[in-house]
Amino acid sequence: MKFTLSWLRDHLDTRASVDELCLALNRIGLEVESVEQLGAALAPFRTARVLQAVQHPNADRLRVCQVDAGPGIGEVQVVCGAPNAREGISVIFAPPGAYVPGLDITIKAGKIRGETSNGMLCSLRELGLGEDTDGIAELPADTLPGQSYADFANLDDTVIEIAVTPNRGDALSVHGVARDLAAAGVGTLKTFLAETVEGVFASPVEWAISYPEACPWVLGRTVRGVKNGPSPDWLREKLEAIGLRSISRLVDVTNLLSIDLGRPLHVFDVNRIKGGVLTVCRGGGETIRALDGRDYIVNSDDCVIADGAGVQSIAGIMGGEATEVTDATTDVFIECAIFDPVKIALSGRRLGIHSDARHRFERGVDQALPVAALEAATRLVIDLCGGEASEVVSAGTQPEWRREASLRFRRVAELGGLAVPPDECVTILGHLGFETLRRDEDSVTVAVPSWRNDVAQPVLLDPDPGLSAERQAELVAKVAAIEPECDLIEEILRIKGLENVAPVALPALSPVPAAAISPALGRVARARRVLASRGLMETIGFSFISHEEALRFGGAPESLRLLNPIAADLDQMRPSPLPGLLSAAKRNAARGWPDVALFEIGGAFDESGQATVAAALRAGRTPRAPGGGGLPMTFAEAKADAIDLALSLGVAAEALTTTADAPSYYHPGRSGALRLGPKAVLAWFGELHPSVLKEAGVDFPVTACEVFLDRIADPKRRRKNAPALSPLQPVRRDFAFLADKETAVESVLRAVRGAERNLIVGVSLFDVYEGPKVQEGSKSVGVEVTLQPRDASLTDAEIEAVAARIVAAVAKATGATLRS
C-alpha cells in the first residue's frame, strides 16, 4: 500500500514529520517497507531561461542556445535538438554531472558537432514525469532562473509504502491509515463527507442479481453528457506519485477512490451495454477479453457481470474491453458492489489475475460505504467530465454487517500483559470506530464498525467426525465468546504500543533443557557425515520429478500428481531421491566427468506418506589403482555403502540379513535388500536395471543404494558400562564349507554365529568359489571365525569342540559339509 505524505494529510490533520509518522506506523502494526523522497532524483535540475537560440552551423536539426541558469552557474552554452528551443522561454536545465532518469544517462560537458555544450535542456519525459515528446518542457514565462525544479513544481513530496496483513483490508486506504494514526495520537482524523448528487433522470441501465452468494448488493448510476480525456495535473500527479499510470479522467476517478477510500469501482460505457440490464450471475464457459488485453474463460464458480450480448466484466476483479470507456464515451455507468471475499479470491487465483480490485475485495471492504462511495465518484465525474447524474439503481440488499463485541477490562492485563485503565481502553476503541453500546465497572460492549471485517466474525470450525454435534456446537460457542474479546485486546495493545508490554519468559518445562536435536535429525546428520567420509558428494534436488521418471522408479500414483507444477517435467512427487541423482550423474558425464559418487538425504513419497531416505549412487569406474586402471562399479560398492551406513547408525551387524528381492528398477541378479529381522526392509542396494539406464539415456554402469532412516529405531537410553575387554589373545580359524549352489551365504554365516555365542565374537566371509575341484551344483564358502577367550587361554581340545559345534550347526541349518 503506497501513499504520499500530502495525500495522507488530506485525511489527517497533523504536523508530525515523516520520521515520526513512520515510527507510529510501525508501532501500530502497519510496517513501513520504504520511504521515497520524490524530489531526491530531481535535485540537480533547475529552472533556466533561454537568452539566445541560433542555428547550429554544422547541423540542420540542432540549435546553439545561450542559457541563463541562475546564481552559481550563470550563463552557459547548450546544444539542443528540440524543435521548440527558442529565445525567451523558461526551461528545465540539467548541468553536467546530473543523472537523467528518463534516459538513464549522466550529462557530461563536451562538444556536439564542433560546438561546446555544457548541459541539457529537458522534457518532462526525460525527467520521468510524463509522456510528452514534442520537445523540451516550457515553464511559465515569469519563472525565475536558478530555482530547484523539484521545489518549483511541488515535487518535494514523500511516498510511504506500508505492508498490510491480510486481515487488515481497512488499511488498504489512505483514510483507513489516517484513522489508525489518529487513534495512536498522531493528529486528528478529518471526517469524510460525500456530497449527495441528486438524480435528474431515470437510469437507462438497471441491475439484476442471479448469484446472491457472490454478490448480495450492487449499486449504480448513469452520468450522461460527459467528456472524457486526460486527467488534470493534480489527479495525474497524485496517481503517478504512487506508481499508478494515469489512463483517463473516468478511469482515474475509480483508481483514486480505490486508494483514497479502499473502495474499488468500475465504469461502463452506457452506449456499449446491450439490453439495458446488467446481471450479476455465474459464468457459463464464456470467453471474455479483459482490460489487460488477455482472454479468460469463466466457469460456473466465477461471478461475472453480463448484458444482452454476454459477459462484460469479471466481477470484482477486472472489466472487459467490450464496454470499457474511451475518449469517445459520452454516457457512463458507475458500478459499486459488495462481493464475497472467498469467491473473489478463488476466481482470481484460478484465472491468474492480480488486480487492485481483487486485492481489496478478497480482504474485505467497508460494508456500509457503497452509497457514500457512489456519491463521491459521481461528484468527481461531474466535476472533471461534466454531465448530469441519473437516479441510483440497485439490486439485492445491504449485508447484515452489524456485530457486537465485549471486553472485560481486567483481561487486557491478564491476557495482554499491559495494564490499561478502563477509560483509556474505551477511548482507544472509540477512536478506532468502535462505538460504546453498554458499559459497567468491569466491562464494555461495543459495536464493531463496518470497515473492520476481521473483528468478531462468525466462527467456522472444520467438522470433527470424532465429536458429537453437541460438543462441536459447544466448542463453536466457546470460541465465539473468546475471540471477539481477544480482537479488542489486540486493538488496544496495538495502539498503546506493543513495545510497552514487558517481556515475560515462558515457564520452563523441565530443569534440564531438552535436546536441541531429535534422534531423527541426529541420524540424518550422522548419515551425512558417514556417506561423505566414504567419498560421496552431497547433492540437493527437487522433491518432484517428471511423471515418466517416477514410473521408472517405483510408481507414480495420481494422488501424488501436482496440479500446478512449476514446470511441465516436474509434475510428480518423487518416490525416491535416486532419479535426481541419476540425472546429476548424466549431466556430469555429458561434461566429461562420468566417474561420480553422489548422495542425497531427503524425502521419498508414496500414498502412505513421506519417508526420509539416504540415497547413494556411484557411476562409471572406481579410481585408478597403481599398476592398473579403474574397474566398473559393481553392486558390492553399493552394498558396502548401505551396510557401513546401517552399522554407523547403531544397527547391530548380527541383526542384518540380506535377501535378493530389490525393486524392479534394480538389476534382478545384482541387487538385494538389507533387512532387520525377516520382514523389515532397512535398505535396497545393487546395480540399476539396464532398461532403466537405457530409458534415462545413460550408457555407463551405475550402482545405488537407498537406506530408510525412519526405520532405524531410536537408541535405547542405557547406562554405558566400560566394555569387558579380555587380556587374552583371540583365536582365528578358517572353515571351508561345501554347500549347495542355491544356498544363501547369509544362512551359513548365521548358523556359524549361533553355534557358540560365548566365544565367537566375529564371523566374516572371505571366499565363495565355484569351479574345478568342486562338484557341479555346489560351491565352496570360506568363513573366518574369531574366538575370544575370557578367563583362560583355550586348549586345543576346547578349540576343536567349538569347531565341531560350528560344523554341526551349519550342517543342520543348510546341509553344508566341511570341505575336505
Binding residues for Mg(2+): 454, 487, 490-491
Task: Write the single-letter amino acid at 608.
Answer: S
CB atoms within 10 A of CB 154: 12
Other Cβ atoms less than 10 A from the Cβ of 282: the count is: 16
Phi, psi dihedral angles at 154 (to 5 degrees): 55, 45
d(CA 79, CA 534): 72
| Nearest by Cα to 44 from 120, 134, 137 | 120
In this structure, what C-alpha cell is assigned to residue 629? 586402471
Q: Is 229 left (phi over 0), alpha (psi -120 to 50) or beta?
A: left
Cβ proximity of 96 and 72 under 8 Å = no
C-alpha pair distances (Å), 758 with each of 451, 788, 813: 81, 8, 20
Question: Within 13 A of 258's CA, how many CA atoms are on the CB side?
Answer: 26
Give 273-307 as a 3 state SS string: CCCCEEEEEECCCCEEEECCCCEEECCCCCEEEEE
As a whole number of angstroms, the distance between CA 563 and CA 289 comes to 25
d(CA 109, CA 621): 66
| Distance, CA of 668 to CA of 51 (rounded, Å) | 94
State the angle between helix axes of 18-27 and 174-183 in degrees (0 to 180), rounded to the nearest 10.
80
How is residue 338 annotated by DSSP?
E
Angle formed at CA 238 by CA 232 and CA 240, multiple of 5 degrees: 95
CA distance 578 to 686: 12
Task: For CA atoms 510, 512, 517, 518, give the dihedral sign.
Answer: negative
Of 74, 46, 72, 76, which is closest to residue 64 (Cα–Cα)? Answer: 76
Contacts of 97 (CB under 8 A, 6+ apart): 44, 106, 107, 108
Q: Which of 88, 203, 90 is nearest to 136 (CA)?
A: 90
DSSP letter string, 649-695: TT--GGGEEEES---TTEEEEEEEEEEETTTEEEEEEEEEPHHHHHH
Question: For residues 364 and 39, what is the distance between their CA atoms, to the nearest angstrom?
Answer: 35
Helix, strand, coil abundance in the chain, percent, nearest 5: 30, 30, 45
Please name the residues in contact with 334: beta carbons below 8 A apart, sequence gap of 6 or more: 220, 221, 222, 223, 265, 266, 267, 374, 377, 378, 381
Per the annotation, binding residues are: 454, 487, 490-491
Task: Kindly give, in sequence order, each residue whose CB lies less than 8 Å from that of residue 298, ignoring residues fewer than 6 positions away.
Answer: 283, 284, 285, 286, 287, 288, 304, 311, 314, 347, 351
CA distance 363 to 386: 34
Burial 361-399 (b: 16+ CB within 10 A, else e): bbbbbbbbbbebbbbbbbbbbbebbebbbbebbbbbeee
- Residue 795 backbone dihedrals phi, psi, to 5 degrees: -85, 165
Smallest CA-to-CA distance from 781 within 812, 813, 810 is with 810
* Residues composing the chain: 820
Please answer whether residues 786 and 703 qualify as being in contact, where contact means their C-beta atoms are separated by less than 8 angstroms.
no
Helix (H) or strand (E) holding 423: helix 422-431
User: Would you say 357 and 387 are in contact if contact means Cβ atoms under 8 Å apart?
Assistant: no
